[in-house]
Amino acid sequence: MVDPVVQQKRLISAKAESFTESVIREMTRQALLYGAINLAQGFPDFPAPEEVKRAAAAAIAADINQYAITWGAKSLREAIARQMARWQGLSVNPETEITVCCGSTEAMISALLAVTNPGDEIVIFEPFYENYGPDAILSGARPRFVKLHPPATPESDWIFDEKELRAAFNPRTKAVILNTPNNPTGKVFTRQELKFIRDLCVEFNALAITDEIYEHIIYDGTRHLSIATLDGMRDRTVTINGMSKTYSVTGWRVGWAVAAPHLTGAIRKVHDFLTVGAPAPLQEAGAVALSLPESYYQKLAADYRARRDLLLAALQEAGFRAFVPRGAYYIMTGISAFGFPDEAAFTKYLVKEIGVAPVPGSSFYSDPRDGAQQVRFAFCKQLHTLDEAAGRLARLRKTR
Ligand code: GLN
């Protein structure tokens, strides 16, 4: 008799078998189950801007309820082009160089499916946002992980070793995935680092696929720089961004990929057959959001700074080794002070007994052991939510 498990397995693709469900999303379910404060999945618990919500409601009332142009509503693409000129001095053609997708998540997988062949390699810095692993598998590319080494002191930065990065590049390298400001480390790549990456991309005829969704969430005078602005990168970069983080609308699923016309042509085809298009009325609201005044972005960053400072102090006080983020809205921490065998046991304890949900560090590494003494906290929450979390974290007991 054929084993029923074997029979069932035959019906599942090897690709789907080779990765697990998202741990970040699972932690949200765990937080709900145990009534823990969700500092796991990175979504705000505060309202989106009034004018952006009104624009979405108005678009629905005005019957913008059918498909937008598959690669994005003209008004939104034009607003994206204006923003790229304003923030990075990049001139892009909204007719030929922008693809609006269902979130930056779809932009990333569409870009990878558009550019990779089986056997191609993708360089990924780790710790990495967990989607990039399955993204590589789904697109048939082989990931080559390069470590971001933790800061030597809490105030210094995560850095890559230039020799290690160079060793990861070879003639099979199709692209390097960048994420700056970075999830989960909070690192913001410097001009010097980006130039080193640029030189490798040019030498090996590889692309940079850069996820810049946290562009406007930066601290302490840090400047965000798009690698596409560096000499030689304009036409070998796919720049990914979206509405989710900047306008606190993670559930809207509106993101985009910006790339030279030959790349955009391929990305648009993949995107069209994956999803046809992003929600039409929300794209119209996107055009309004991307026209908000400068003061909106200043307040966004200042508010995030207050949230970061609150959670950072609470984590340090509770005994975590907290790495200070320069951008994005996560704090990566070391948990060795608490004497747990690994981050899975610690996470379970934190969710069930302390009432705060983090993301276990292992979900950001190719080898889970590398994250065995780390967890990530998100601080895209109201100050009173973070205060409540701080009170709960204060109940943790250090063993060392
Ligand atoms: N980027 C967010 C995080 O890292 C949320 C990701 C998601 O669930 N789509 O938590």
Q: What is the pLDDT of residue 6?
A: 85
User: What's the pTM value of the predicted model, to 2 decimals?
Assistant: 0.96
Instruction: With cut-offs at 50, 70 and 90, classify the pLDDT of residue 9.
Output: confident
Q: What is the pLDDT of residue 273?
A: 97
Ligand 1 nearest-atom number relative to CA 41: 10
Q: What is the pLDDT of residue 20?
A: 87
Ligand 1 pocket mutation pick from 29, 102, 129 by most atoms within 8 angstroms of CB: 129
Question: Average pLDDT for residues 224-246, to the nearest whole number?
Answer: 98
Q: What is the pLDDT of residue 291?
A: 96
The secondary structure element, H or E, covering residue 293 is none
Q: What is the pLDDT of residues 276-287, one digit of tens each?
A: 999 999 999 999
Q: What is the pLDDT of residue 384?
A: 97
**Cα of 105 from ligand 1 centre, angstroms:** 9
Q: How far is the C-alpha of 356 from the C-alpha of 359, rounded, in Å?
A: 10
Burial class (CB in 10 A: 0-12, 13-18, 19+), 124: buried
Ligand 1 nearest-atom number relative to CA 184: 4
Q: State the DSSP code for 148.
A: P
Ligand 1 nearest-atom number relative to CA 105: 9
Residue 122 has pLDDT above 80, yes or no: yes
Instruction: With cut-offs at 50, 70 and 90, classify the pLDDT of residue 7.
Output: confident
Q: How far is the C-alpha of 330 from the C-alpha of 187, rounded, in Å?
A: 10
Closest CA to 81 of 64, 100, 62: 100
Say what percent of the chain tops pLDDT 90.
Answer: 93
**Cα of 108 from ligand 1 centre, angstroms:** 13
Instruction: With cut-offs at 50, 70 and 90, classify the pLDDT of residue 323.
Output: very high
Does 42 contact ligand 1 (Cβ within 6 A)?
yes
Residues facing residue 126 across a β-bridge: 147
Instruction: With cut-offs at 50, 70 and 90, classify the pLDDT of residue 355.
Output: very high
Q: What is the pLDDT of residues 143-184, one digit of tens each?
A: 999 999 999 886 789 999 999 999 999 999 999 999 999 999
Residue nearest to atom 1 of ligand 1 (CA): 42
Give every CB contact of residue 241 below 8 A, 6+ residues apart in sequence. Answer: 80, 104, 211, 212, 213, 215, 255, 256, 258
Question: Which CATH number applies to 50-289?
Answer: 3.40.640.10
Residue nearest to atom 3 of ligand 1 (CA): 42
Does 183 contact ligand 1 (Cβ within 6 A)?
yes
Does 44 contact ligand 1 (Cβ within 6 A)?
no
Q: In the predicted model, what is the mean pLDDT of the chain?
A: 96
User: What are the structure tokens assigned to 203, written together?
Assistant: 């030498």
- The verdict on domain 4-48+295-398 having CATH code 3.40.309.10 is no
Does 25 contact ligand 1 (Cβ within 6 A)?
yes
**What are the extents of the domains in the chain?**
4-48+295-398, 50-289
Question: Average pLDDT for residues 324-341, to the nearest whole number?
Answer: 96
Residue 47 has pLDDT above 90, yes or no: yes
**Cα of 110 from ligand 1 centre, angstroms:** 18
Does 251 contact ligand 1 (Cβ within 6 A)?
no
Ligand 1 nearest-atom number relative to CA 130: 4
Q: What is the pLDDT of residue 400?
A: 61
- The most distant pair of C-alpha atoms in the chain lies apart, rounded to whole Å, by 69
Question: Average pLDDT for residues 385-390, to the nearest whole number?
Answer: 97
Q: What is the pLDDT of residues 70-119, one digit of tens each?
A: 999 999 999 999 999 999 999 999 999 999 999 999 999 999 999 999 99
Does 9 contact ligand 1 (Cβ within 6 A)?
no
Residue nearest to atom 2 of ligand 1 (CA): 42
Q: State the DSSP code for 273.
A: H
Ligand 1 nearest-atom number relative to CA 244: 1
Q: What is the pLDDT of residue 154?
A: 67
Cis-peptide, bond into residue 181, ω within 30° of zero: yes
Regarding predicted confidence, which is higher, 78 or 10? 78
DSSP labels, 196-217: HHHHHHHHTT-EEEEE-TTTT-
Q: What is the pLDDT of residue 229?
A: 98
Residue nearest to atom 4 of ligand 1 (CA): 42
With beta carbons less than 8 A apart as the criterion, state whether 60 and 258 touch.
Answer: no
Angle (CA) 255 256 258, round 5° = 160
Structural Rg of the chain based on CA atoms:
21
**Cα of 41 from ligand 1 centre, angstroms:** 5
